[in-house]
Amino acid sequence: MIPRLRFAHLPTPIEPLPRLSAVLNGPRLLVKRDDQTGLAFGGNKTRKLEFLVAEAQAQGADTLLSAGALQSNHCRQTAAAAAKFGFNCIIVLVGQPPVQASANLLLDQLFGAEIVWAEKSRREAVLQETFEKTSAQGNKPYLVPYGGSSPTGALGYVFAMEEFVGQKVKADWIVFASSSGGTQAGLVLGTRVFGYEGKVLGISIDEPQRILQEHVAKLASETSERLGRRIKFSSDEVLVNDEYAAPGYGVLTGAEREAISLFAKYEGLLLDPVYTGRAAAGLIDLVREGFFKKDETVLFWHTGGQPALFAEKYQPELV
Residue-wise pLDDT for 35-78, tens only, equals 999 999 999 999 999 999 999 999 999 999 999 999 999 999 99
Q: Do domains 14-44+150-318 and 45-148 have the same CATH topology?
A: yes
- Which residues, in sequence order, are CB contacts of 153 under 8 Å at separation 6+? 48, 49, 51, 52, 144, 145, 147, 182
With a cut of 70, list the residues of the chain below it in pLDDT: none
What's the confidence (pLDDT) of residue 58? 97
Cα separation, 41 vs 77, in Å, equals 8
What's the confidence (pLDDT) of residue 257? 97
Cα separation, 205 vs 276, in Å, equals 9
Cα separation, 26 vs 290, in Å, equals 8
- Does residue 88 contact residue 36 with C-beta atoms inside 8 Å? no
Cα separation, 211 vs 264, in Å, equals 33
The CATH architecture of the domain made up of 45-148 is 3-Layer(aba) Sandwich (3.40)
β pairing state of 14-16 and 28-33: antiparallel
What's the confidence (pLDDT) of residue 1? 85
Cα separation, 155 vs 77, in Å, equals 17
Give tens-digit pLDDT for 82-113: 999 999 999 999 999 999 999 999 999 999 99
Catalytic residue of the set 21, 66, 72, 224? 72
What's the confidence (pLDDT) of residue 317? 84
What's the confidence (pLDDT) of residue 313? 87
What's the confidence (pLDDT) of residue 30? 98
Asked: is 14-44+150-318 a CATH 3.40.50.920 domain? The reply is no
Question: CA distances (Å), 147 to each of 83, 153, 192, 304, in order?
Answer: 18, 9, 23, 13
Instruction: State pTM to two decimals.
Output: 0.96
Burial code of 249-258, b = ≥16 C-beta within 10 A, e = fewer?
ebebbebbbe
Can 72 be counted among the known catalytic residues?
A: yes
Domain map (residue ranges) of the chain = 14-44+150-318, 45-148
What's the confidence (pLDDT) of residue 316? 84
Sign of CA dihedral 55, 156, 187, 123: negative
